Amino acid sequence: MTLPDKRTTITNIALFVVMLAAITASLAIGTLQLTPTEVALALAGQADPMTDLVVNQLRLDRTLAGLLTGAALAMAGCLMQTLARNRLATPGIIGIDNAATAFAVASVVGIGVSLAPSTMALTGAAVATALAFGLAGAKGTRGYRFIVAGIGIGAIAGSATQVLLSRVAIDTANAAYPWTVGSLNARSDQSVLVLAVGLGIGYLALMGISRALNTLQFSDPVAIALGTRLRSTRVLGLGLSVLLTGLAVSVCGPVGLIALLAPELARTLCRPGKVPLTASALAGATFMVTADLLGRTLFSPLEVPVGIITAIIGSPYLLWILLRPSQRSPT
Amino acid sequence: MSPTKTSTLAADAITLAHRRFIVAENLSVALPPGRVTAIVGPNGCGKSTLLNGLARIHTPAQGSVLLDGKDIHTLPSREVARKLALLPQDNTAPEGLTVGDLVRFGRQPHQGWMKQWSREDQRAYDEAMTAADMEQLADRALDTLSGGQRQRAWIAMAVAQQTPLLLLDEPTSALDLGHQIEVFELIRELSAQGKTIAMVVHDLPSACRYSDHMVAMKAGEIIREGAPAEIVSPELVEQLYGVHCELTHDPATGSPLLINVRRASAR
Amino acid sequence: MATSARKRVVVSRAFLPPLASAVFLLLLVAIGSLLYGAGPVSPAEALAVLAGGGTDEARFVLMELRLPRTIIGMVTGLALGLAGALLQSMTRNPLAEPGLLGVSAGSGFAVALAILLGATTATLTTLVAQLGALAGCALVIAATRVQGLGNDPVRLVLAGATLSGLLMALTSMLMLVDQRAADEIRFWITGSIAGKPLDMLGATLPSIILALVMIVMVARPLAAMALGEKAAVGLGHHPGRIRLLITLSVALLVGSATALAGPLIFVGLVVPFIARALAGPDIRRTLWLCAPIGPIILLAADIVSRLIAAPAEMPLGVVTALVGAPILLAIVRAGRMPSL
C-alpha cells in the first residue's frame, strides 16, 4: 500500500546493489579476465580496443539480455503466484514456458510459419494460458486443477518441441538445442529490443494495479469487499504474465525456476502483505546473470546453457518446498 | 467515529444458485437501518449464501440486491466498498501480515491513483484500531494472535472502511465462549455507533442475545422474521432444528433462552 | 447398504466380459500393428504374408520389422500398465504414474549416462535402466511417506515433475559433453519401439517374469492395504514387506520398459485409469484388466505414430503424451480428486 515502507525500500536498494555486483562480475569474468576498474573504464569508453570489444560488444549485450529476461520471468512468476494464490504456480510449472518454446521452435525450424520468434513465443504463451484456464473448468486461476492442467499442457508442448526437432536436419536440431533448454546464446537483437519495450510497459501497468494485486492475497470475498474488480484485475494480470513470459522465452528459451526462486526470495525479504514486484524483478535479473556467468565459466570452454544451471540449482530447492513435512500445504 | 451517512440494503426477490443447484428462490429481505440483524437456521439452509448475495460476492441468478435503491451489481465495486464492508468466513491472510497492515487494507476503497495515504485515512485507521481495541497489537503478526484477537483485527479492517453497512459471516464460528463474547460485544458497540449490521450466526441463543432483528431460514426460505423476543418460540425451534425445547428468559437481559432441549423424535 | 451390496455383485459379474473383450481387442490391435505401417508394404500384402504367401520383401518387413516391434510394444505396454496400477494403489494416488513421478526419468538418466560411458549391450542397458528406476521408485516411496504428502496427489505430482526436470537437465548436461552420444540419446529419450532388436527383449524378459511372480504374491495383501495400513496389519499382512516387493516390481517393470522403449510418459496413467473404470476398486481385478489394456494402448499409440506423419514416423512418446495429457486433465476435472 502506500505508507512509506522502510523494509521494502531497503530490500530493493540492497538487491539493486547485489545486481550491480553481478553485472560487474558478468562483464569482468570470462576468457579474458578483467578487474572492476577495467570494466568501468571500458564502459566509459576509455579502454584499449580489445577490452572495449569484449566488454561493450560481447559481454554487455549478453548481460543486458540476462537482466531483462531474468526480471521479466521473475515478475511474471510473482504475478502468476499472486493470481493463483499459490507459490508453486509459476509460468514454468503451468506449462507456459514450454508452449512458448514449442511455438518459437516451430518458427525457427520453419514449419511453414514465418512469424518472428517474439510473436510466436507470445502466441504459444497465450495459447497455453488459455488452455490451462479452459481445461481447469474456467473457474479462475485458483486451485490445483489449474496446475495439473498446466502440467499436462507442458508435457504436450515439450513433446511437440521434440517432434519438431526430430524432423529437421541434425545440425539444425543441434543448433536449436541449447535454446530449447534455455540459453542466452541464441538471442536475436530484435527480440531483446521487443522484450525491453514489453518489460517497460508491463512494469508500469503492474505498478498501476499493484494495490488491487495486494488484495488478491486474501480470499476472493475479502478482495471483492475491498472494492477490487476481480475479473478485470485477473485478466489484466494474466495478460501481463503471458506477455512477460512469452517475450522472455523468445530471448532465452524456457529458463525454469527463476520465476519461482526470485519471488520466493523477494517475499522473504520484503514486508508481508504486499506483492513484491520490484524486488522480484531485481532478484530475477541477478539470478539470471549469475547463473549465466556460472554456465559460461564453470566448465569452460564447454558452455552450459543457463536453463540447465537454473534447473540443477533450483530443482532441489523446489523439491524441498514440496517434500518437507507440511505445517501448511503449499498447494 | 459515527459513520455520518446511512445506507439501505435489501434483497428484492433474489434467486441464489450454485451452478444449477438452486439454494434459495425468490427471497426478499431488507436490513432495518441502525440495527443488528441475525440470520439463523440449520446447516445448509442458505443463510451464508444469502449473506454473500447481499454482499455482492454471490451474483443472484434472478432478482436484484439493492444498495440505496440501486442494483448493487451495476455500481462500481469501489463505490460499494465505501458503503458496505464484509467479514467473510474464509479469511486467511498472507503469512506474517501485521494487524496494522491488515487494517490499512480497509482504506483501499478510499484511495486512488492520485490519492495516497491521507490524513483522513490515518484518522479512520486510528479510530478503527481504537474501536476494536487493537492499538497495542498493531505490530503483531496475525498468525501470532489468539482467535478472538484475530477476528477483532479483521473486524477492525472492516470498520476502517467506514461504511454504514457491515456484514459478517459467522464471526464467532471457531471461537471459544470468552472470545465469542468479545466479538459480539464489539459488534454491539459498532451498532450503537449507528452502523447497520447483518450477521450469520450459528448459535441461536447468541443470536437472540445480540441481535435486534432476526431472520430465520430453512431450506432456502425465510420462515420467520422479526425481533427475537417476538419470533423465537418452541415451535420455531422445532421447525428449524427438529428439536423440542422450552423457552424462558434470561433474568439479567430478558433475551430468550432455550432449556431442556431434546431430540424431537426421542421417546 | 442393500444397494451397495447389490452393486458389488454386479461389478463382479460384469468383470469377465470386459476382460474377454479386452483380450479380443488386443488381438485385433496386434494384427493391426502387423498390417499397418509407414513402410511400403500395404495391408493387403501383409495379410497375404499372414496367410502364408506374400513377396519376400513383404515377408521381411513383417517378420523382421513389424513382428518384433509388435512384441516389444506389447511387453512395454504390459509393464507400464501394471507398474502404474501398482504405484497408484500403493500410494493411494490416482495420479501416481511412473512417467509423471520421475521414475522413468531416473531410468532414462541412468541409460543416458550408460550410453555416454559407452555401454552397448542390451543386458547392461537393461540393468542400468532398472537400477535407475529403482532409485527413482525408492525416492517416490520415500516422498509419499513424508507426513502430509501422501494425501496430496497434486503435490506429489509436482514433486515428480520437478525431479523429472532435474534429471532431464542432468541428461542435457551429458548430451553437451559428447555429440555422438547426444544424437543417440536424443533419439532414445523421445521414446520409440521402432527398430529395437529382439535381443533387447531377451534381456528384459527374465525381470518382467520375476516382477509378475512378485505381483501375484502381493496382490491380495495389496488389496487389503486399500483399507488402510492399520487394517492391513489387522488382517495379518506386513505393509513394509508389501511396499518393498511393490517397489522392486515397479522398478523392474519400469526399468525394462524404459530399456525397451525409452521413457514413455502417461501410459501408466491411462491404462489403470481405464482398467479401474471397468473393474471397480479392487486392485486384483484392475491388475488383470491392465494386462491386456496396457498392450492395447501402447500398440494403438504406436500404430498412430506410424500413420499420422507417414512416410515419416512420429515418436511414440509424443503420441502417448498427446493421448495421456487429456486423460490426466479428465481425472482432475472429474471434480473431487478420487482417492484410492
Q: What CATH code is carried by the domain that includes residue A252?
A: 1.10.3470.10
Instruction: Among A173-187, C25-39, C162-176, name the one with the lowest average pLDDT.
Output: A173-187
Look at residue C155 and tell me if it is in a domain: yes
Percentages (nearest 5) of helix, strand, coil residues in chain B: 35, 30, 35
> Is A153's CB within 8 Å of C325's CB?
yes
Tell me the average pLDDT across A201-229: 90
> Is B57's CB within 8 Å of A272's CB?
no
> Is A221's CB within 8 Å of B52's CB?
yes
Q: Which candidate from A155, A256, A305 shows the least CB-CB separation from C321?
A: A155
Q: H/E element holding B27?
A: strand B21-30
Contact C270, C330 (CB under 8 A): no
Instruction: Among A86-90, A211-215, B100-104, C127-131, name the one with the lowest average pLDDT.
Output: A86-90
Residue B221, SS3? strand
d(CA C105, CA C256): 13
Look at residue A74 and tell me if it is in a domain: yes
Q: pTM to 2 decimals? A: 0.81
Tell me the average pLDDT across B70-96: 87
CA–CA min distance A12, chain B (Å): 19
pLDDT digit string, tens, across residues C157-166: 778 888 888 8
Q: Which candidate from A215, A217, A272 shows the least CB-CB separation from B108?
A: A215
> Is B102's CB within 8 Å of A273's CB?
yes
Tell me the average pLDDT across B15-20: 86
CATH code of B9-229, in short, is 3.40.50.300
Chains B and A share 3 or more Cβ pairs within 8 Å: yes
> Is A155's CB within 8 Å of C168's CB?
no
- Domain residues for the domain of A22 are 6-323
> Is C161's CB within 8 Å of A145's CB?
no
d(CA A247, CA A193): 10
Residue C36 has pLDDT above 50, yes or no: yes
> Is B82's CB within 8 Å of A227's CB?
yes
CA–CA min distance B106, chain A (Å): 7
**Residue B71: pLDDT band with limits 50, 70, 90:** very high
pLDDT at A136: 67
CA–CA min distance C144, chain A (Å): 9
Instruction: Among B16-25, B164-173, C277-286, C325-334, name the one with the lowest average pLDDT.
Output: C325-334
Look at residue A277 and tell me if it is in a domain: yes
pLDDT at C105: 85
Residue B267 has pLDDT above 50, yes or no: no
Residue A89, SS3? coil
B120 Cβ partners below 8 Å, 6+ apart?
B110
Contact B207, B256 (CB under 8 A): no
Instruction: Among A196-205, C8-17, C218-227, C325-334, name the one with the lowest average pLDDT.
Output: C8-17
CA–CA min distance B227, chain A (Å): 28
Tell me the average pLDDT across A282-296: 95
Q: Which candidate from A148, A170, A322 shows the least CB-CB separation from C332?
A: A148
pLDDT at A27: 92
Look at residue A330 and tell me if it is in a domain: no
pLDDT at A2: 44
Residue C131 has pLDDT above 50, yes or no: yes
Residue B43 DSSP symbol = T
A6 inside 8 A of chain B by CB: no
Residue A165 has pLDDT above 80, yes or no: no
> Is C329's CB within 8 Å of A148's CB?
yes
- Domain residues for the domain of C96 are 2-309
d(CA C111, CA A288): 31
Residue with cell 440495527: B35
Residue B258 has pLDDT above 80, yes or no: yes
> Is A227's CB within 8 Å of B77's CB?
yes
Tell me the average pLDDT across B94-104: 86
> Is A159's CB within 8 Å of C182's CB?
no
* Dihedral sign of CA atoms A265, A270, A274, A275 in order: negative
Residue C337 DSSP symbol = P
CA–CA min distance A64, chain C (Å): 25
- In chain A, the number of structural domains is 1
CA–CA min distance A245, chain C (Å): 19
Which is more confidently placed, A114 or B259? B259
What percent of chain C has pLDDT above 70? 89
> What residue of B is the nearest CA neighbor of A209?
B113
> Is C152's CB within 8 Å of A155's CB?
no
CATH number for the domain harbouring residue C180: 1.10.3470.10
A326 inside 8 A of chain C by CB: yes
Residue C2 has pLDDT above 60, yes or no: no
B77 inside 8 A of chain A by CB: yes
- Across the A:B interface, residue pairs with CB atoms under 8 Å apart total 85
Which is more confidently placed, A15 or C152? A15
User: Are β-strands B213-218 and B21-30 bridged in parallel, bridged antiparallel, or unpaired?
Assistant: unpaired
Residue C340 has pLDDT above 50, yes or no: no
Strand partners, B11: B29, B65
Look at residue C321 and tell me if it is in a domain: no
**Residue A190: pLDDT band with limits 50, 70, 90:** confident
- The neighbour count for residue C17, using CB atoms within 10 Å, is 10
Q: What is the mean pLDDT of chain A?
A: 84
Q: What is the mean pLDDT of chain C?
A: 80
Residue A329 has pLDDT above 60, yes or no: no
Tell me the average pLDDT across C162-174: 84
pLDDT at B18: 84
**Residue A330: pLDDT band with limits 50, 70, 90:** very low
Instruction: Among B41-50, B165-174, C13-22, C327-336, name the one with the lowest average pLDDT.
Output: C327-336
> What residue of C is the nearest CA neighbor of A256?
C165
> Is A330's CB within 8 Å of C315's CB?
no
pLDDT at A113: 55
B237 Cβ partners below 8 Å, 6+ apart?
B204, B243, B245, B247, B258, B261
> Is C163's CB within 8 Å of A173's CB?
no
Q: Which candidate from A154, A167, A312 shows the least CB-CB separation from C169?
A: A312
pLDDT at B31: 94
d(CA A14, CA A282): 10
> Is A1's CB within 8 Å of B92's CB?
no
Q: What is the CA radius of gyration of chain A?
A: 20
Residues of A in contact with C265 (CB under 8 A): 155
Instruction: Among A82-91, A104-113, C171-180, name the one with the lowest average pLDDT.
Output: A104-113
Residue with cell 502381493: C218
Residues of A in contact with C158 (CB under 8 A): 88, 93, 147, 151, 322, 331
Residue B33, SS3? coil
> What residue of A is the nearest CA neighbor of C167?
A312
pLDDT at C152: 67
Burial B158-186 (b: 16+ CB within 10 A, else e): bbbbbbbbbbbbbbbeebeeebbbbbbeb
Question: Phi and psi of B23, rounded to 5°?
Answer: -85, -40
Look at residue A185 and tell me if it is in a domain: yes
d(CA C273, CA C88): 10
**Residue C10: pLDDT band with limits 50, 70, 90:** very low
> Is C333's CB within 8 Å of A319's CB?
no
- In chain C, the number of structural domains is 1
C314 inside 8 A of chain A by CB: yes
Residues of A in contact with B115 (CB under 8 A): none
pLDDT digit string, tens, across residues C257-289: 988 888 888 899 889 988 988 887 788 888 999
pLDDT at A144: 67
pLDDT at C338: 45
Contact B92, B66 (CB under 8 A): no
**Residue B1: pLDDT band with limits 50, 70, 90:** very low
Cell numbers given for B49: 449464501
Tell me the average pLDDT across B70-80: 90
Restricting to A residues 175-234, those with a Cβ less than 8 Å away from any Cβ of B are 208, 211, 214-215, 217-222, 224-229
Residues of C in contact with A329 (CB under 8 A): 148, 152, 155
